[in-house]
Structure 1
Amino acid sequence: MLRALFSPRMVALHLLVIGVLIAFTLLGRWQLAVFEDSGRPASTADPAPVPVGTLSKLGERLSAEAVGRQVTAEGRYTATDQLLVANRRPDVEAPGGRADSGQGYWLLTPLQLADGSTLAVVRGWVADAADQAVAVPEGTVRVTGRLRPPDQSDAVQHDGALPAGQVAMVSTAHLLNLWEGRLHDGYLIATSQDPPLTARAVAVPPPTQGGTLTWRNLAYAAQWWIFALFAVFMWWHFVRDEVRRSKSKAPELSVPDPEPLPR
């Protein structure tokens, strides 16, 4: 039996199957990696800043394609309507957590544009409400920043526990009740300003695009591994036939007849 399994023809078959298994396994892992990478968010190109009216239209919701995009806006701040967004960090993260975790306030100031509309602008972050950076600059300002969608308006109920002039969320629906005039949806997080920002700029990431899973690559991976299993089945089939063939060709041992006993 062993002689049949290790004949030159069978050794070549063993080596061929080993090579096929290695190749098909690696090809399946490659297709699986392509499938996994397709579902990961990918950073998109970061276009140059455009006027805010190009991406944020009055009376329309901020589109998903506009979120994170750089825009410019020019106008005058309304200092009397400025609000402090409480329990915030100096980067774009969800509110909440321990009070000693670096939280403070966002400076949320309405910017009156040339067309009479209002744009909510986060001018920066301060750790203390009494910080001098809370003061609003006078005159015309030119702001460059990134657009953000409004926070969920169902959280504004927490405002009742905050001091006057503070809010818990940046909600367009809530701001419509606090500020006069036509209001753009969402808000702008300022990254630079002329005159320069006095508060610490809030860190905001560039736009990202969610990955789309390519299920076809997952099917390809399964296909390669099925081929590998089929190769194993065929190898076992050939080995079984070879063993049976070697047994059928083996010479039968003849047993001599016993000699008759002498009388």
Structure 2
Amino acid sequence: MWKTALQPRWIAGLVFAIAVSGVFVLLSQWQFGRSTQPEVPVNPATEQVQALTKTLQPGDFFRGSVADQMVEASGTYDPAKQVLVAGRLKDGKTGYWVVTAFAVTDAPVLKGAAASPKTYIPVARGWIADPADASAPPSGVIRLTGRLLPSEAPVPNAAPEPGHASAVSVAELINAWNVSSYPAFVSATAEKSGTADVGAAAGSGLEPLSIPAQPPAEKVNWLNLFYSVEWIVFAGFALFIWWRLVKDDYRRSLEDAEDHDAGGHSHDGPEPTQPNEIQQKVQP
């Protein structure tokens, strides 16, 4: 069979089958890539700054539709309510987030025995490498702009020392601060006192966080995944068809050889002369 497969036309056929299979493999990779792409891109509306008091209410459930929304609010920082959250990376270095309680002006006041006169929201003001670099928050009325993020889960079995927190967890912080709070926190991008910039980028000793909007979680598109597998099958089928054609050609060559051998013994040489023809020739 190898003699048949090594014939020029079947070598050319193999090259063609490999080329077709390669195209099918590339199509499979393309379909597989599409099967894991996010179905919805990052919503550009999240970059349009909205009022915090109109975006989220204290005591409400944090909706996924407001996650990553850029918000603004006026209020004051409480320097007595500030913690450091360890284990935060920036530019490949591990450090701390400085998180401070921000009393939101005109925020609804919650009712209840444990409710505080003001409603706060934790604000991640910036990043530091050394806890000694943590500076006090700016005083006076601050115009805050930042990204609204969901509360983190507290680290289990962790007992942070005073002035520290295991995560930016609203549940953990309100217990430490004894305040009413929004069910989220803000990553500050700008802090202004009047017209003056008093944020991390203004030389306060903190480095800006610069947290971008997060894309939606990837979902598997099963139809594209099925097409990906289908193209792989087609690639294998192209090579199978070449092998099958070579095999059929080989079998035909064997059958032709057998027919040639069988026919050669019965038809070689002149036709034998019949007896009656001989008698007619010898009669005078």
Q: Give the TM-score band, short-chain normalised.
A: 0.7 to 0.9
- Structure 2 CA distance, aligned partners of 1:248 and 1:102? 77
Give the one of 124, 127, 133 matched to 1:125. 127
Cα deviation per residue 1:175-219 (whole Å; 9 max; x = unaligned)? Answer: 222334531012111111113212322232322212222232232
Q: Deviations over 1:118-153 (max 9, x none)?
A: 11112223344454x622322211111112222213
Cα separation, 2, equivalents of 1:73 and 1:92: 29
Contact 2:99 2:122 (C-alpha < 8 Å) held by counterparts: no
| SS class of match (1:124) | strand
In structure 2, the partner of 1:103 is: 95
Q: 1:50 is matched by which residue type in structure 2?
A: Q
TM-score, normalised via structure 1 length: 0.74
- 1:24-63 deviation per Cα after TM superposition (whole angstroms, max 9, x unaligned): 4323332323323542568624422211234433222323
1:57-111 alpha-carbon deviations (Å, 9 max, x no partner): 322232334333321121122233x222242436499xxxxxxx55245142333
Structure 1 residue 145 and structure 2 residue 146: aligned?
yes
Gaps spanning 5+ residues in structure 1: where? 94-100, 257-263
Aligned position for 2:192 = 194
The CA deviation string for residues 203-252 of structure 1, in whole angstroms up to 9 with x for no partner, is 32322212222232232232223233333333333333333333333432
Greater alpha carbon shift after TM alignment, 166-175 vs 227-236:
227-236
Q: Given that residues 85 and 168 in structure 2 are in contact (C-alpha distance below 8 angstroms), is that contact kept between their aligned partners in structure 1?
A: no
8 Å Cα contact 1:40/1:210 also seen in 2: no
Please state whether the residue corresponding to 2:159 is helix, strand or coil. Answer: helix
Q: Is the 8 A contact 1:85 1:170 kept in 2?
A: no
Cα distance change of structure 1 residues 175 and 248 upon mapping to structure 2, 3 Å threshold: closer
Which gives a bigger RCO, structure 1 or 2 (Cα 8 Å, sep 6+)? 1
- Tell me which amino acid in the other structure corresponds to 1:89: R
Are the counterparts in 1 of residues 17 and 242 from structure 2 also a CA contact under 8 Å? no
User: Is residue 28 of structure 2 the alignment partner of residue 31 of structure 1?
Assistant: yes
Name which of 165, 169, 172 aligns with 1:171: 169
Whole-Å Cα distance in 2 between the matches of residues 224 and 89 of structure 1?
Answer: 44
In the alignment, structure 2 segments of 5+ residues that lack a partner are 110-118, 269-284
Quickly say closer, same or farther: Cα 1:15–1:90, change in 2 above 3 A: closer
Amino acid aligned to 2:164: Q
Match for 1:85: what amino acid?
Answer: L
Greater Rg over alpha carbons, structure = 2
Match of 2:83 in 1: 84
**Matching of residues 1-263 of structure 1 within 5 Å:** 11=9, 15=12, 18-39=15-36, 44-46=42-44, 47-80=47-80, 82-89=81-88, 91=90, 102-115=94-107, 116=109, 117-131=119-133, 134-155=135-156, 157-159=158-160, 162=161, 164-195=162-193, 196-197=198-199, 198=204, 199-250=206-257, 251-252=260-261, 254=265
Contact 1:83 1:167 survives alignment (8 Å): no
- Looking at structure 2, the residues matched to 35 and 90 of structure 1 have their Cα atoms a distance apart, in angstroms, of 32
Decide whether the 8 Å contact of 2:97 with 2:125 is kept in 1: no
Q: What is the DSSP-based 3-state SS (H/G/I as helix, E as strand, rest coil) of the residue aligned with 1:103?
A: strand
Q: 1:60 to 1:147 in 2, by over 3 A?
A: same
